[in-house]
Amino acid sequence: MRVAVPRPESVRRHGTLVVVLAAVVLTVVASYFSKAPCFGPPYDEQGSSANFENRHRLVCYSDVQMLWLGRGIVTKTFPYVDAHRDAADGPPGAMLDGAYEYPVLTGLFIWVTSLPAHDEGQYVAWTTLALAPFGLLAGFLLALLARRRALIFAAAPAMVFYTSYNWDLLVVGLTVAAVFAWQRRRPGLCAVLLGLGAAAKIYPGFLLLPLTIERLVARDVRGAIRVAVLGAGSWLAVNLPFTVINFDGWWATYAFQGSRTADLTTNSVYFWGFPDLSPTTVNVLSITLIAVSWAGIVALGWFSRTAPSQYPWLQVGAAMLCAFLLFNKVYSPQYFLWVQPFLVLVRVRWGWWVAYWIIDAVLFLGINRLFHDSGHLASQAAVLGVWTKSVILLLLMVAFVRAPLVFTRQAARTGQAARAGQAALTGQSGAPETGRRCTLLGEGSGSPVRRGAAPSCRARRLSSADPATGREGWRWSRVHRSW
């Protein structure tokens, strides 16, 4: 009788998954408890805690708790349908009756998690609980793609700072799922997930541009059109009903962001370096710098190709995100969560993510203390954090594009290669072979092939020059078969 013995690599893979998921659970729980000093009894009649006054002194501030009253979450008003923005209330205006500064999916998520909550503390708890599956999803898929490097995401201090701070884990989970779909050769599903991500926070929509270019470079015009249509279509499917019902309530999100002034709450280079610029000038300058940098990044991706039919779309998308965070007029602290998966998936050196970890912590703590007492040390920490973070983002724009991915795409097999592989595995005559056949472990023992026996993997010739079609070129690949 044969006894199945776990393979060392399988044990390591499962062990890595357990460690990564455990790290996500620990950081999510730690994030919730780091916000706990800001809520708790006594609560007033609207469920607001008096402890929130200590939010910056105790470094427990969160947008989740702030918007309980700040956006009327306490009323549980369905978002966008009756919403409007009162522009007369000074820039950026007052968001009323279910208006949010966030896109539709995030607004719906905010509303759903508010339904069982009766006070701020319960709302933070329900929000953290609802966000946890997206953090676990991101950690799980990152571990499948990058193994131990997934701990760069799962064990990062930013997970503690920002999980319960805002709703960004929702979009991070969707973005990582999109990358995983692409790795599994599902570019259409990847585009749909990116479109849904853009309906939650805008940045996943940026990745649709290089993804479409990647299909064009592979000479797959139909695939490029399909990616663009599916990405835009999924975004439109979420947003269109709200634009029809109440366009002004839907547009209030974007009008609010467009009218924000560069001040301490936006925490961008424009406030710290050019505080006298008018809001209009900042808007024009920001859009121009983002557009120019994106054009340069797309071109750099073209010249960084490792093969004529391949385009580093994910690296280009990561660099475009860095450019957006650098030149946009708003840099909220939790935006670091957006960058973290790319530090996992793109093989940049360890110094990049360690430096970003450290400077993000300095910036987060410095800004909180600056809101509390405006002390000299807090101001220095904030200034150091802002400008060092800007330099890191600028350098990452190049480092991301020039670095390889840590994973390889699932192999594409043409019909001929698939038939040849099947023939060689089953021992049929006339099957083209290269080197040895794939045989079962215990080969030569004289025992018959039994269902459930593990195959030993031998080299086989597979087509792979074009990642989508595999039309040209050859490579050696391990053959895996389920018996």
Q: How far apart are CA 154 and CA 241, in angstroms?
A: 36
> What's the confidence (pLDDT) of residue 370?
85
Residue 123 has pLDDT above 90, yes or no: yes
Q: How far apart are CA 50 and CA 52, in angstroms?
A: 5
> What's the confidence (pLDDT) of residue 263?
84
Residue 322 has pLDDT above 90, yes or no: yes
Q: How far apart are CA 78 and CA 384, in angstroms?
A: 41
Instruction: Answer yes or no: are the C-beta atoms of 127 and 137 closer than 8 Å.
Output: no
Whether residue 275 is contained in a domain is answered as: yes
- Token pair for residue 367? 């800004």
Whether residue 310 is contained in a domain is answered as: yes
Instruction: Answer yes or no: are the C-beta atoms of 426 and 454 closer than 8 Å.
Output: no
Instruction: Answer yes or no: are the C-beta atoms of 98 and 76 closer than 8 Å.
Output: no
Whether residue 6 is contained in a domain is answered as: no
Query: How confident is the model over 233-285, as pLDDT tens digits?
Result: 999 999 999 999 999 999 999 999 988 888 888 888 999 888 888 888 999 99
Query: How confident is the model over 46-73, as pLDDT tens digits?
Result: 999 999 998 988 999 999 999 999 888 9
> What's the confidence (pLDDT) of residue 264?
84
Any residues with CB less than 8 A from the CB of 333 and at least 6 apart, and which? Answer: 161, 162, 165, 267, 360, 363, 364, 367
Whether residue 269 is contained in a domain is answered as: yes
> What's the confidence (pLDDT) of residue 8?
58
Whether residue 308 is contained in a domain is answered as: yes
Q: Which of 206-210, 251-255, 315-319, 423-427 bottoms out in mean pLDDT, i.e. has the lowest?
A: 423-427
- Mean pLDDT, range 106-131, rounded to an integer: 97
DSSP state string for 172-216: HHHHHHHHHHHHTT-HHHHHHHHHHHHTTSSGGGGGHHHHHHHHH
Instruction: Answer yes or no: are the C-beta atoms of 438 and 479 closer than 8 Å.
Output: yes
> What's the confidence (pLDDT) of residue 240?
97
Q: How many CA atoms lie within 13 Å of 101's alpha carbon, on the beta-carbon side?
A: 20
Q: How far apart are CA 116 and CA 38, in angstroms?
A: 20
Residue 460 has pLDDT above 80, yes or no: no
Confidence of residue 352 (pLDDT cuts 50, 70, 90): very high
> What's the confidence (pLDDT) of residue 412?
65
Residue 40 has pLDDT above 60, yes or no: yes
Query: How confident is the model over 358-417, as pLDDT tens digits?
Result: 999 999 988 888 887 776 677 888 889 899 999 999 999 999 999 999 998 887 655 544
At residue 93, φ and ψ (nearest 5 deg) are: 100, 160
Q: Helix 187-198 to helix 221-245 angle, to the nearest 10 degrees?
A: 30
Residue type for 142, please? Answer: L
Higher pLDDT, 482 or 356: 356
Dihedral, CA atoms, 265, 271, 275, 278, nearest 10 degrees? Answer: -80
- Mean pLDDT, range 303-314, rounded to an integer: 91
Q: How far apart are CA 230 and CA 258, in angstroms?
A: 27
Residue 296 has pLDDT above 90, yes or no: yes
Residue 41 has pLDDT above 80, yes or no: yes
> What's the confidence (pLDDT) of residue 380?
84
> What's the confidence (pLDDT) of residue 1?
52
Q: How far apart are CA 296 and CA 236, in angstroms?
A: 29
- Mean pLDDT, range 308-327, rounded to an integer: 95
Short-list 207, 164, 192, CA closest to 341 = 207
Confidence of residue 427 (pLDDT cuts 50, 70, 90): very low
Residue 426 has pLDDT above 70, yes or no: no
Confidence of residue 309 (pLDDT cuts 50, 70, 90): confident
Whether residue 122 is contained in a domain is answered as: no
Dihedral, CA atoms, 351, 357, 360, 361, nearest 10 degrees? Answer: -130
How would you label 367-378 residue by residue, b for 16+ Cβ within 10 Å and e otherwise? bbbbbbeeeeeb
Residue 474 has pLDDT above 60, yes or no: no
Q: Which of 158-167, 184-193, 410-419 bottoms out in mean pLDDT, i.e. has the lowest?
A: 410-419
Q: How far apart are CA 437 and CA 449, in angstroms?
A: 14
- Mean pLDDT, range 74-84, rounded to an integer: 93
- Mean pLDDT, range 335-362, rounded to an integer: 94
- Mean pLDDT, range 33-43, rounded to an integer: 94
Residue 100 has pLDDT above 50, yes or no: yes
Short-list 338, 334, 304, 341, CA closest to 323 = 338
Q: Which of 109-113, 131-135, 254-258, 461-465 bottoms out in mean pLDDT, i.e. has the lowest?
A: 461-465
Any residues with CB less than 8 A from the CB of 357 and at least 6 apart, and which? Answer: 156, 157, 158
> What's the confidence (pLDDT) of residue 443?
36
Whether residue 184 is contained in a domain is answered as: no
The pLDDT mean for the chain works out to 85
> What's the confidence (pLDDT) of residue 87?
84
> What's the confidence (pLDDT) of residue 463?
40
Q: How far apart are CA 356 and CA 447, in angstroms?
A: 57
Residue type for 300, please? Answer: L
- Mean pLDDT, range 169-192, rounded to an integer: 97
Residue 469 has pLDDT above 80, yes or no: no
Q: Helix 168-183 to helix 120-146 angle, to the nearest 10 degrees?
A: 20
Per cent of the chain over pLDDT 70 is: 82
Residue 13 has pLDDT above 90, yes or no: no
Whether residue 370 is contained in a domain is answered as: yes
Task: Find the domain containing 333 and state its range.
Answer: 260-410
| Separation in Å, CA 113 to CA 78, 200, 249 | 12, 15, 21
Q: How far apart are CA 470 and CA 363, in angstroms?
A: 47
Q: How far apart are the first and last CA of the chain?
A: 18
Higher pLDDT, 239 or 306: 239
Q: Helix 221-245 to helix 208-217 angle, to the nearest 10 degrees?
A: 160
Q: Is 261 left (phi over 0), alpha (psi -120 to 50) or beta?
A: beta
> What's the confidence (pLDDT) of residue 413?
56
Q: How many domains in the chain?
A: 1
Could you check whether the bond before residue 79 is cis, i.e. omega within 30 degrees of 0? no
> What's the confidence (pLDDT) of residue 237?
97
